[in-house]
A and B are shown apart, each in its own frame.
Chain A
């Protein structure tokens, strides 16, 4: 079966002022698969997710979602695209004026015509997937970091989008939550068109769920392919990174 590409970075470069973050990056996100992006802290993983969501524009190059160039699309068109994509933020980014339940309901309340009861049911299910039903009425300020993170995750999956971008979904969570989240990401892939891009430092989870893996180093994608191929890569940088060794070509 030929693979379909749902999102594509084409020769993307990006600089914040003087600081060059990405240099001529190209990356295909395969539909229906889980693609994991790894790399050192500060390598630009979150930046890639933001690019796909059209939240920032590359300095040069193109970003496509389906066949639309998100760099040259009006904000209005972009909003339509964004409603079929979810981004689960690294630091949750819940609205602090809303309760957890309202936060998770927000995309459904604002973007769909679903009835309140139907929304409540879907939200319940999403909260159940992250074990947070009991905190429905809490404000974000009353929750722990890990709880916020799981709530952000629930908000991302509640709309049942065709592409979900998870920014370090398991970082800072207890082992049981890590397991729940990893299982949920895998379960969502089994739907007709569930595609996921996951940035993570959590290698065991990655090995469990990743179909494809990309490694970002010094602004470039230095390895990309099926997860097992990348694990067996002869590239010394990839080897050092995955083994977590201090000695090697990566400057620390």
Chain B
């Protein structure tokens, strides 16, 4: 096969994928907007995908907050800028790291779970069975997962922001002797400087990416257990890439003009 053909093949595969993902997004949103929602299943998924991700989200953001604080605090105090450490930690957490880290961690944990579950339903003909009963997989499976993540990811992000700031405060106190009160005072300045809501809008987009890519990967699974493994890996990789791209694009929209 020559190079041109290969490029052509890749390109058409890309557009096929993008088209399929767009279709799934459109039909899921249409069910969501028409309120065709399975409430119980949504709550169950919120627990499985959201609540059960809490521990790992807290852990990663705690350490991240601690690292930022550690790297800024000691030097800042040396040069007499101890009062900006809280600002730095709060700003970095709430504006960038909180949403991003939470998105990445949940993509790894929940995105893979969604793809694996739906993928194994494909290879055991459960999806075909649903379709044969006239039940749309998008409504039955995708919408509850989508809604669950849209609700849970912003909440997880708020927890991530808080724990990251608390971790930062602890490190600042322990290693740079910055009092909690001073740190928090400074942190408040950091938070009021930026817009928490923009970080949360980002998480809504990340949530949609994780749920839809995970579901789409699951639904396009072919070929037994090995196929499920492939779709699962693909779900994590593709949703992470899209999260990075979306993060940049949203920052450009939110902050690009003012920068």
In angstroms, Cα B134 to Cα A81, docked, is 8
Contact assessment for B132 and A96 in the assembled complex, using a CB-CB cutoff below 8 Å? no
Contact assessment for B126 and A82 in the assembled complex, using a CB-CB cutoff below 8 Å? no
In angstroms, Cα B140 to Cα A111, docked, is 12
Question: Interface code A102-115, partner B: CB below 8 Å = 1, 0 otherwise?
Answer: 00001100110000
- Candidates B129, B134, B136; contact of A95 at CB < 8 Å: B129
In angstroms, Cα B126 to Cα A81, docked, is 19
In angstroms, Cα B134 to Cα A55, docked, is 10
- B125 contacts partner chain A, Cβ-Cβ < 8 Å: yes
Contact assessment for A86 and B121 in the assembled complex, using a CB-CB cutoff below 8 Å? no
List residues 63-121 of chain A with CB under 8 A from any CB of chain B.
Answer: 75, 78-83, 85-87, 89, 91, 93-96, 106-107, 110-111
In angstroms, Cα B133 to Cα A81, docked, is 10
- Candidates A78, A89, A110, A111; contact of B129 at CB < 8 Å: A89
Contact assessment for A79 and B124 in the assembled complex, using a CB-CB cutoff below 8 Å? no
Contact assessment for A111 and B134 in the assembled complex, using a CB-CB cutoff below 8 Å? yes
* Residues of chain A lying within 8 A (CB to CB) of residue B126: 93-96
In angstroms, Cα B126 to Cα A87, docked, is 12
- A53 contacts partner chain B, Cβ-Cβ < 8 Å: yes
- B131 contacts partner chain A, Cβ-Cβ < 8 Å: yes
Contact assessment for A79 and B136 in the assembled complex, using a CB-CB cutoff below 8 Å? yes
Question: Interface code B125-144, partner A: CB below 8 Å = 1, 0 otherwise?
Answer: 11011111111100010000
User: How large, as a class, is the contact surface on chain A?
Assistant: 20 to 34
Q: How far is the CB of A171 from chain B (nearest CB, A)?
A: 15
Contact assessment for A94 and B129 in the assembled complex, using a CB-CB cutoff below 8 Å? yes
Contact assessment for A82 and B133 in the assembled complex, using a CB-CB cutoff below 8 Å? yes
* Residues of chain A lying within 8 A (CB to CB) of residue B131: 55, 79, 82
Q: How far is the CB of B31 from chain A (nearest CB, A)?
A: 12
In angstroms, Cα B130 to Cα A94, docked, is 9
* Residues of chain B lying within 8 A (CB to CB) of residue A55: 128, 131-132
In angstroms, Cα B132 to Cα A37, docked, is 20
Contact assessment for B125 and A91 in the assembled complex, using a CB-CB cutoff below 8 Å? yes
* Residues of chain A lying within 8 A (CB to CB) of residue B136: 75, 79
Contact assessment for B134 and A83 in the assembled complex, using a CB-CB cutoff below 8 Å? yes
Q: How far is the CB of B172 from chain A (nearest CB, A)?
A: 47
Contact assessment for B135 and A110 in the assembled complex, using a CB-CB cutoff below 8 Å? yes
For the complex of A and B, 8 pairs with smallest distance between CB atoms: A93-B129, A82-B134, A79-B134, A93-B125, A83-B134, A87-B132, A107-B133, A110-B135
Spell out B's residues near A (CB within 8 Å). Answer: 121, 124-126, 128-136, 140
